[in-house]
């Protein structure tokens, strides 16, 4: 089986969006699209399912809230319930207003940081990771659509020429 892919390069995001719609309609399989900046509506056009990162963040926030509550309940109420300036440390709820700033910050801290880490893991980003640009210009001013080739190379090349691509390249992928 050949590992050939087509690189169709565009220099305008409107042309790109148009090409994506056309490609979808012609039922060619789009492997990936590289853009220098977020193109509004591209994910919808590609049919990428919505992210669940926000749901993760909510769960992480709940974890942070639990950590803060359990930690302060253990330290301030259970382990050594001292009288500090007359604050009532007989039960958690009695001294709760004093704990709320910590509970709030821990919730935000967990939600934010764990969500960011989840994002890095899911999108496979880390320091010293090898960059995956198929064409250096895609980080500056060009848009690139990668489409897998079966046995229809000629057909695909002429199709993408027709979608307004400035360049259409056939690449052997390893």
Q: Which residues bind other proteins (CB under 8 A)?
A: 54, 58, 86, 97-98, 100
CB of 139 to other proteins, least distance (A): 28
Measured from the CB atom, the residue of 88 and 162 that comes closer to other proteins is 88
- Please, which residues have CB within 8 angstroms of residue 32's CB and are 6 or more apart in sequence? 145, 146
CB of 51 to other proteins, least distance (A): 11
Burial of 80 (0-12, 13-18, 19+ CB in 10 A): exposed
The token pair that represents 95 in the structure block: 């001294």
Measured from the CB atom, the residue of 63 and 98 that comes closer to other proteins is 98
CB of 97 to other proteins, least distance (A): 4
The token pair that represents 18 in the structure block: 């148009």
- Please, which residues have CB within 8 angstroms of residue 174's CB and are 6 or more apart in sequence? 3
Measured from the CB atom, the residue of 49 and 97 that comes closer to other proteins is 97
* Radius of gyration for the alpha carbons in the chain, expressed in angstroms and rounded: 26
Measured from the CB atom, the residue of 54 and 116 that comes closer to other proteins is 54
CB of 132 to other proteins, least distance (A): 30
């Amino acid at each position: 089986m050949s590992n050939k892919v087509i690189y169709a390069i565009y220099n305008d995001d409107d042309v790109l969006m148009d090409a994506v719609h056309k490609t979808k309609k012609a039922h060619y399989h789009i492997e990936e699209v590289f853009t220098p900046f977020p193109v509004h509506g591209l994910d919808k056009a590609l049919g990428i399912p919505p992210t669940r990162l926000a749901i993760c963040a909510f769960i992480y926030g709940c974890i942070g809230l639990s950590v803060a509550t359990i930690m302060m309940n253990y330290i301030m109420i259970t382990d050594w319930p001292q009288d500090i300036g007359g604050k009532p440390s007989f039960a958690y709820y009695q001294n709760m207003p004093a704990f709320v700033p910590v509970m709030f910050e821990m919730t935000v801290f967990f939600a934010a940081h764990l969500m960011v880490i989840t994002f890095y893991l899911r999108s496979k980003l880390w320091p010293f990771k090898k960059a995956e640009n198929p064409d250096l210009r895609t980080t500056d001013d060009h848009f690139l659509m990668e489409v897998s080739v079966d046995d229809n190379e000629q057909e695909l090349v002429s199709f993408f020429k027709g979608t307004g691509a400035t360049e259409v390249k056939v690449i052997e992928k390893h």
